[in-house]
Amino acid sequence: MPSKSTATHYGNAAVTIHWLTAILIIALIGSGFNAGDAENAAAKAAFLRVHIPLGVTVLVLTVVRILWWFFADKKPDPLPMPVWQDRMARAVHLLFYIVILGMAASGVGMMVLSGAGPIIFGGSESALPDFWDFKPRFPHGIGGRLILALFVFHAGAALYHQFVKRDGLLGRMWFPRSKD
């Protein structure tokens, strides 16, 4: 079970971080918008008790991922595709990193400035602040919509490659089968 990537396949470490991050981002978008829309303080705090630890986990995974690519591994060769598609894919991947780091920074910023951590995790939800009183709330809301758009675009492009072009793109981002 190679942890590093080859010229044709992502390695186990990259595959694990990729799919774990994908699942956590879906959970973050769901819990984030539910927290943002919740009118009731107890419900908002309940969503945030899930959202915040997941957000911190994605931050750690993203830092590990950046260090992994920088110091330990090399991406597989790109599949043959028009230059504009390759450039677009690279731009979307870079934007993912920027938006994830920005979301984590603005999320931590909201918590530090509002001092809401002990309220959310300590159980006295009635004192929950209005996060819109703090500057990082605005970019966090924009970033939430941007990451949702990136996610739809990225997943749509992967499905197009897999099922329309049939170039086996998804198989590169999965664990090797025993015959490989």
Binding residues (CB under 6 A) for ligand HEM: these are 25, 28-29, 32-33, 35-36, 44, 48, 51-52, 55-56, 58-59, 100, 103-104, 107-108, 110-111, 131, 137, 140-141, 144, 147
User: What is the nearest approach in angstroms of ligand HEM to the Cβ of residue 135?
Assistant: 13
| Helical axes 41-67 vs 12-37, angle rounded to 10° | 160
Between 33 and 175, name the residue whose CB sits nearer to ligand HEM: 33
Between 65 and 140, name the residue whose CB sits nearer to ligand HEM: 140
Spacing of C-alpha 56 from chain mean position: 11
Q: How far apart are CA 58 and CA 29, in angstroms?
A: 12
Report the half-sphere exposure of 49 (CA within 13 A, side-chain side).
Answer: 15
User: What is the nearest approach in angstroms of ligand HEM to the Cβ of residue 108?
Assistant: 5
Between 91 and 112, name the residue whose CB sits nearer to ligand HEM: 112
In this structure, which amino acid lies at residue 37?
A: D
Q: How far apart are CA 32 and CA 51, in angstroms?
A: 6
Between 29 and 79, name the residue whose CB sits nearer to ligand HEM: 29
Between 14 and 104, name the residue whose CB sits nearer to ligand HEM: 104
User: What is the nearest approach in angstroms of ligand HEM to the Cβ of residue 100?
Assistant: 5
- The burial class, CB within 10 Å (0-12 / 13-18 / 19+), for 104 is buried
User: What is the nearest approach in angstroms of ligand HEM to the Cβ of residue 76?
Assistant: 26
User: What is the nearest approach in angstroms of ligand HEM to the Cβ of residue 122?
Assistant: 15
Q: How far apart are CA 141 and CA 32, in angstroms?
A: 9
Phi, psi of 58 (to 5 degrees): -65, -35
